[in-house]
């Protein structure tokens, strides 16, 4: 609560002073109360109106006379001039609340790229002149030898000197399966060493690493994606000068045509005209419509970082998606078990899990999680055959668990053509006899297929998966889900080019992903969508939309919310403008009184609020605008803190 008060102190001061002024003017009446409530109205107005007038004067200095700030200012001063103090304050207060949502946490957006920088290792252990030195990677030269301990990140791109090692390359390729690298092959900065200490010969300087390339692409994409100009700013370029000149005309032109011209009467009509013309209904209806959509989406686990992206999502026609962690779970699991030579599944799993019981490899963990509570058998003489599997003595029997190469090394025959799916297969042999095969794969999420079907129902023209995994696996997943295209074996820059090409053809393009390697294309795309649960900090920060629970099926719901919000916003715009134009015409002829003016401004605004609430009612029963503003004031709700309003 203290954070909320500190963040929105101007609006809080204005609201408290406004309530106090209304009470003193209409309820607690005493001698001299007029001076008290005038002072309170003035304080309330200055608390929120001062910044608007500063913007108006800055616009004047920049050569823009008819800005929305100028219109807001003269309209509210006009309200004060004719004694409608509460009206003048309320206009500024509502406007300020709308502005808060846009500007409240810009510093968070600026920190998003810093998250990527933090992915880069800041220490490299270098061998020089028979010594090992800990240096910043920028101080390491090409040709230097660096040591990387198990669990540490590779500081720079280089060539592996150690005979063989396993690396987690998810930060670059998005693929959860560790990559086995042989001596002489390339290792990328940001990869995590899975095995014992390895030696790497540096081949790229700090600024030229793959990870630095990802950072540069994010920065480039950020510059290229300019924010959508706010609706009211465009509208005000036409609306504001017309309104101001009409008000001046209402004040002075009648002098030329009316015999009994009274300046005060026509000036009063012009002020009513200005009060009516003040875009309070628009100022409220547009952001509240988007806030309603943002609030309803957040209640369903979907975080929009701004109304621009809520609006862009409804126009999206092409969606690119990462595979691992987005359409699939990003973790390995046993898919099927085949047994041979009289072995039962229970017995097979017991031997396999026992041999893997000390393994930290994802495949070993998948087998262990599949053992269904079975007691593990003792293992002796366990040995890891790098890149092939394990062998050991389990309960007195020689057991092998590994790939086809391991079987060939021990002259155990097996027909590989029997394996039709593009999975990882672990073959189990006991005492020289093949007894079973486990198929292991990254599981497709339960709702991925439904999500694809619903996206097609909503009119998306093309759904494409882009992945760093091998093409065979990517094609299999795409076929299972009914996707239009599948591209595998991609590095971040290759994903970037494919998305860039689609955007260049004039399409509204979205990208949905979760890994650091997805950050450049998420930033480049018109709508960047991140999986908030598994997604890296850098990806979540650079995304426009965050799906908190990692369910792809939330995206069709987000599109529904986007489209319904768009309809509500334009209903409010047309309704507000229609009523205002009608009452302004009546005011010009002297028919409208201040009551009509108040209805055309405050009344229309209240109706617009009620219409905007329909979004929350339709899609969420728990959220409200108050809960939305409360959430944006909390540090742990950083994604909502970047919400934009289209006032």
Among all residues, which ones are annotated catalytic? 322
**Spacing of C-alpha 50 from chain mean position:** 33
Cβ atoms of 166 and 362 within 8 Å: the answer is: no
State both tokens at 287. Answer: 């952001």
> CB within 8 A of 415, min separation 6: which ones?
none
CA–CA gap between residue 491 and residue 97 (Å, rounded)? 44
Residue 182, sorted as left (phi over 0), alpha (psi -120 to 50) or beta, turns out to be: beta
Rg (CA), the chain: 33
In degrees and rounded to multiples of 5, residue 316 shows phi and psi of -65, 130
DSSP secondary structure letter of residue 422: S
SS3 465: strand
Measured CA to CA in angstroms, residue 600 lies from 90, 200, 250, 308, 358 at distances of: 14, 73, 19, 28, 74
> CB within 8 A of 566, min separation 6: which ones?
311, 314
Nearest to 109 by CA among 647, 645, 640: 640
- For 59-89, b/e burial (b = at least 16 CB within 10 A) is beeeeeebbbbbbbbbbbebbbebebbbbbb
Cα-based angle 251, 254, 260 (whole degrees, multiple of 5): 110
| Parallel, antiparallel or unpaired: strands 424-430 and 397-402 | antiparallel
SS3 370: coil
Cβ atoms of 565 and 292 within 8 Å: the answer is: yes
Nearest to 117 by CA among 537, 417, 449, 462: 537
């Amino acid at each position: 609560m203290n954070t909320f008060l500190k963040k929105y102190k101007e609006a809080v001061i204005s609201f408290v002073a406004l309530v106090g002024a209304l009470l003193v003017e209409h309820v607690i009446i005493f001698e001299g109360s007029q001076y008290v409530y005038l002072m309170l109205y003035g304080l309330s107005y200055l608390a929120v109106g001062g910044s608007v007038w500063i913007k108006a004067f800055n616009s004047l200095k920049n050569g823009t006379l008819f800005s929305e700030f100028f219109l807001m200012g003269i309209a509210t001063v006009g309200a004060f001039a004719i004694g409608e103090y509460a009206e003048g304050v309320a206009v500024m207060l509502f406007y300020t609340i709308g502005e808060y949502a846009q500007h409240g946490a810009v510093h968070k957006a600026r920190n998003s790229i810093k998250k990527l920088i933090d992915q880069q290792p800041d220490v490299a252990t270098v061998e020089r002149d028979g010594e090992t030195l800990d240096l910043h990677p920028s101080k390491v030269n090409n040709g230097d030898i660096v040591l990387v301990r198990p669990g540490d990140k590779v500081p720079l791109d280089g060539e592996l000197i150690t005979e063989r090692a396993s690396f987690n390359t998810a930060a670059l390729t998005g693929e959860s399966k560790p990559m086995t690298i042989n001596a002489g092959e390339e290792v990328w900065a940001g990869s995590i060493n899975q095995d014992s200490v390895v030696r790497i010969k540096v081949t790229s300087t700090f600024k030229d690493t793959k990870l630095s390339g990802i950072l540069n692409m994010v920065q480039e994409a950020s510059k290229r994606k300019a924010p959508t100009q706010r609706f009211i700013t465009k509208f005000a370029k036409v609306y504001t000068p017309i309104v101001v000149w009409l008000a001046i005309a209402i004040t002075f032109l009648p002098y030329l045509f009316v015999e009994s011209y009274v300046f005060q009467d026509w000036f009063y009509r012009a002020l009513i005209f200005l009060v009516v013309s003040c875009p309070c209904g628009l100022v409220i209806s547009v952001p509240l419509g988007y806030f309603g959509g943002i609030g309803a989406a957040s209640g369903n686990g979907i975080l929009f970082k701004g109304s621009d992206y809520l609006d862009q999502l409804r126009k999206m026609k092409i969606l690119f998606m990462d595979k691992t962690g987005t359409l699939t779970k990003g973790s390995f699991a046993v898919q099927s078990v085949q047994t041979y030579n009289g072995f039962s599944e229970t017995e097979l799993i017991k031997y396999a899990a026992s041999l893997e019981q000390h393994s930290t490899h994802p495949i070993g963990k998948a087998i262990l999680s599949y053992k269904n509570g079975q007691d593990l058998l003792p293992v002796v003489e366990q040995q890891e055959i790098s890149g092939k599997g394990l062998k050991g003595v389990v309960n007195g029997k020689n057991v092998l668990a590994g790939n086809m190469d391991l079987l060939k090394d021990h002259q155990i025959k097996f027909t590989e053509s029997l394996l039709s799916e593009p999975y990882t297969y672990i073959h189990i042999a006991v005492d020289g006899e093949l007894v079973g095969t486990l198929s292991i794969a990254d599981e497709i999420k339960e709702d991925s297929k439904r999500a694809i079907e619903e996206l097609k129902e909503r009119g998306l023209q093309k759904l494409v998966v882009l992945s760093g995994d091998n093409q065979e696996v990517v094609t299999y997943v795409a076929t299972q889900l009914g996707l239009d295209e599948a591209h595998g074996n991609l590095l971040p820059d290759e994903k970037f080019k494919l998305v860039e090409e689609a955007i260049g053809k004039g399409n509204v393009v979205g990208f949905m992903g979760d890994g650091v390697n997805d950050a450049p294309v998420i930033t480049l795309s018109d709508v960047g969508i991140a999986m908030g649960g598994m997604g890296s900090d850098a990806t979540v920060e650079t995304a426009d939309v965050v799906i908190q629970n990692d369910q792809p099926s939330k995206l069709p719901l987000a599109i529904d919310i986007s489209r319904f919000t768009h309809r509500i916003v334009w209903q409010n715009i047309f309704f507000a403008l229609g009523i205002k134009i009608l009452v302004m015409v009546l005011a010009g002829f002297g028919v409208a009184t201040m009551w009509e003016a108040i209805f055309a401004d405050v009344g229309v605004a209240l109706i617009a609020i009620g219409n905007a609430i329909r979004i929350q009612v339709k899609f969420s029963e728990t959220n409200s605008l108050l809960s939305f503003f409360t959430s944006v004031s909390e540090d742990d709700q950083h994604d909502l803190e970047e919400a934009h309003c289209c006032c």
